[in-house]
Amino acid sequence: MTEPQPVLSTRDLNAWYGESHILHGVDFDVNRGEVVSLLGRNGAGKTTTLRAIMGLIRQRQGSILHEGEEIIAMKPERIARRGIAYCPEERGIFASLTVEENLLLPPAVQPGGLELAEIFELFPNLEERRKGASGARLSGGEQQMLAIGRILRTGAKLLLLDEPTEGLAPVIVQQIGVSVERLRERGFTIVLVEQNFHFAARLADRHYVIEHGRVVEQFSRDDIDARMGELYELLGV
Amino acid sequence: MQELLGIPAPLLFGQLLIGLINGAFYALLSLGLAVIFGVLNVINFAHGALYMLGAFMAWLLLTYLGIGYWPALILSPLIVGAAGIVIERTMLSRLYELDHLYGLLFTFGLALIIEGTFINFYGVSGQPYAPPKMLTGGYNLGFMFLPTYRAWVIVASLLVCFGTWLLIERTRLGSYLRAAVERPDLVRAFGINVPLMMTLTYGFAVALAGFAGVLAAPIYTVSPIMGQNLIIVVFAIVVIGGLGSILGSIVTGLGIGLIEGLTRTFYPEASSTVIFVIMAIVLIIRPHGLFGRSRE
Ligand SMILES: Nc1ncnc2c1ncn2[C@@H]1O[C@H](COP(=O)(O)OP(=O)(O)OP(=O)(O)O)[C@@H](O)[C@H]1O
Ligand SMILES: [Mg+2]
């Protein structure tokens, strides 16, 4: 039997914002059905990594393989159409769109997306707020649910979630954790960027620690308990 | 003779009608400018020249090919829209990465080139263009005479403005556009081809200017400089209404037309400056315009 090919793998991924060189060779792999977390301190380059994968950073170099195909030179809309969906750190809820328009905005890119009813089952709050006049009127938690919910409709199987728990109350964090768990059960592959290490530790199969634009360490679910001190050191918690 | 506020009624209503006609053109043009600014982040100084191109296309189609008003009302905006698509794809789109000022300077230069070319061949004096047979004559409303063609201009431009508003505010395509105004990068990351949308938006918005040009041809003479005079006022309207607001630009366009008409009746000396006085006041009190949202 051959090694299963990773869904996503980056090699020597470099990225720049203008003159500033932010990513200095990020290497990581994500296998089908896995939840992989990218951990790291503020400004380490986690968001930049996700944006580079989505093609949102123009100056990028190295290799990004998705399903074995090189996507480093592709435009964002083509990358999205391959079935990669991105949920940004700032959530990206559109104020000039109603809640429902926000939810229906991302077009289906592949068959097999969740039905609206299934999304409302994951996030019941969204159903209550569905008729809202503007996405901007939702609470932070509701916006986060909307931001995740809307990419589930598209049929994308690889989800890039940037700090879905940032600034949210513990009960909402809990609810989002349950949803991510359910998405994994449904076969989604998830890259989870997190500052909230405890949240990530419960959900992710493997963790990569990013520092100054590089992957500096890797932990698996099994060795995380034994190496907790090392991890705390790296994250500065 | 009937009088209103010391002014003979036919005179007052006549001026209001002229105001409404001008307002209809203001609305069509400022709507296009607002859409272009919203989606492309470009202040399209070529808008007046493309309005002129619309009128001239109608005149050229008639003069050289014998194609009349009704087909021209469709063909001419299509030609202007196609020209817009070529301009956006080959030139304007290269400037998005640079400072706003480059887009503005480019479209300003483009306006000079388009207008200069037509002046070179046709001079500035202007060509007459007759309204279609069907729309000649008029109605006596008792208090005033309403020429049929002018009534048609008001109805047609209001319909087109309202249709555009519906398209942007009430359809799925419109939701893509509104989202792209806020976060073009994110909309692309959802798999929507935003650069293509920008091209089509520019084409559509300048086609609206072309449409306004054809509507205007039988009312004003068709001349290479017809857009120049208009566009300054239209920019003032866009500032008053708030850059980027669709409904705001329609309402402000019509409103300013009427205010101009009223001023011409009661204090003719101020009729051409009143708009700029309003603009100055609005800028002081509400810098984002009457209907504008602040960006960022
Ligand atoms: N638009 C930008 N222009 C220039 N530099 C930027 C830009 N965005 C981010 N940076 C810089 O790039 C570096 C990495 O930022 P990034 O947002 O990827 O960090 P992060 O790991 O996501 O941090 P956080 O946990 O705070 O979200 C930081 O030093 C940041 O200052
Ligand atoms: Mg970040």
Average pLDDT of the residues in A193-219 = 93
Average pLDDT of the residues in A2-25 = 91
First to last CA, chain A: 42
Average pLDDT of the residues in B191-208 = 96
Name the one residue in this structure whose structure tokens are 């949920």: A87
- The 10s digit of each residue's pLDDT in A210-236 is 999 999 999 998 888 888 888 888 888
Name the one residue in this structure whose structure tokens are 């393989």: A65
Which DSSP letter does residue A111 get?
A: S
Average pLDDT of chain B, as a whole number: 91
Q: For chain A, say whether B179 makes contact (Cβ under 8 Å).
A: yes
Using a CB-CB distance cutoff of 8 angstroms, which residues of chain B are in contact with residue A86? 186, 189
- The 10s digit of each residue's pLDDT in B19-62 is 999 999 999 999 999 999 989 989 999 999 999 999 999 999 99
> What does the pLDDT read at residue B294?
59
Q: For chain A, say whether B133 makes contact (Cβ under 8 Å).
A: no
- The 10s digit of each residue's pLDDT in A31-64 is 999 999 999 999 999 999 999 999 999 999 999 9
Q: Are residues B191 and A75, on separate chains, in Cβ contact within 8 Å?
A: no
Q: In chain A, how many domains are there?
A: 1
B2: in domain: no
Q: Are residues B193 and A106, on separate chains, in Cβ contact within 8 Å?
A: no
A171: in domain: yes
> Of B144 and A129, which is predicted with more confidence?
A129
* C-alpha to C-alpha distance for B205 and B87, rounded to whole angstroms: 13
Residue B8's pLDDT band (boundaries 50, 70, 90)? confident
Q: In chain B, how many domains are there?
A: 1
Question: Does the pLDDT of residue B11 top 60, yes or no?
Answer: yes
A2: in domain: no
> What does the pLDDT read at residue B137?
85
Residue B252's pLDDT band (boundaries 50, 70, 90)? very high
A1: in domain: no
Residue A98's pLDDT band (boundaries 50, 70, 90)? very high
B291: in domain: no
Sign of CA dihedral B112, B115, B118, B119: negative
Cβ distance B249 to B71 under 8 Å?
Answer: no
* C-alpha dihedral, B17 to B19 to B21 to B27, nearest 10°: -140
Q: Which residues are CB-neighbours of B243 under 8 A, at least 6 positions away?
A: B34, B37, B38, B288, B289, B292
* C-alpha to C-alpha distance for B131 and A150, rounded to whole angstroms: 52
- The 10s digit of each residue's pLDDT in B61-116 is 999 999 999 999 999 999 999 999 999 999 999 999 888 899 999 999 999 999 99
Q: Which ligand 1 atom is at minimum distance from the Cα of A163?
A: 27
Q: Are residues A154 and B181, on separate chains, in Cβ contact within 8 Å?
A: no
Q: Which of A100, A80, A136 is nearest to B194 (CA)?
A: A80
- Coil, strand or helix at A84: strand
* C-alpha to C-alpha distance for B218 and A106, rounded to whole angstroms: 45
> What does the pLDDT read at residue A2?
55
| Mutation target among A50, A54, A96 for the B interface, most CBs of B within 10 A | A96
Q: Is A17 in the pocket of ligand 1 (CB under 6 A)?
A: yes
A14: in domain: yes
- Coil, strand or helix at B296: coil
B197-225: buried (b, 16+ CB within 10 Å) or exposed (e) per residue?
A: bbbbbbbbbbbbbbbbbbbbbbbbebbbb
Using a CB-CB distance cutoff of 8 angstroms, which residues of chain A are in contact with residue B193? 77
Q: What pTM was estimated for this model as a whole?
A: 0.91
- CA of residue A133 relative to chain centroid, distance: 27
> What does the pLDDT read at residue B264?
87
Q: For chain A, say whether B172 makes contact (Cβ under 8 Å).
A: yes
Question: Ion ligand 2 — residues with CB under 5 Å?
Answer: A 47, 89
A3: in domain: no
Phi, psi (deg, nearest 5) at residue A86: -125, 130
* C-alpha to C-alpha distance for A53 and A42, rounded to whole angstroms: 19
Residues spanned by the domain of B27: 18-226
Cβ distance A195 to A166 under 8 Å?
Answer: yes
> What does the pLDDT read at residue B197?
96
What's the full length of chain B, in residues?
Answer: 296
Q: Which residues are CB-neighbours of B226 under 8 A, at least 6 positions away?
A: B51, B52, B55, B126, B213, B216, B220
B259: in domain: no
Q: For chain A, say whether B185 makes contact (Cβ under 8 Å).
A: yes
Q: Which residue's CA is the nearest one to ligand 1's atom 5?
A: A17
> What does the pLDDT read at residue B125?
86
Identify the CATH number of the domain in which residue A108 sits.
3.40.50.300
> Of B265 and A174, which is predicted with more confidence?
A174
Q: Are residues A96 and B178, on separate chains, in Cβ contact within 8 Å?
A: yes
- The 10s digit of each residue's pLDDT in B231-246 is 989 999 988 988 767 8
Cβ distance B111 to B48 under 8 Å?
Answer: yes
Cβ distance A231 to A197 under 8 Å?
Answer: yes
Question: Does the pLDDT of residue A3 top 70, yes or no?
Answer: no
Question: Does the pLDDT of residue B296 top 50, yes or no?
Answer: no
B236: in domain: no
A179: in domain: yes
- CA of residue A156 relative to chain centroid, distance: 12
Question: Does the pLDDT of residue B270 top 90, yes or no?
Answer: no
Tokens linked to B232: 């300054």
- The 10s digit of each residue's pLDDT in A127-180 is 988 888 888 889 999 999 999 999 999 999 999 999 999 999 999 999 999 999
Residues spanned by the domain of A159: 8-235
- Residue A127 CA, ligand 1 centroid: distance in Å: 34
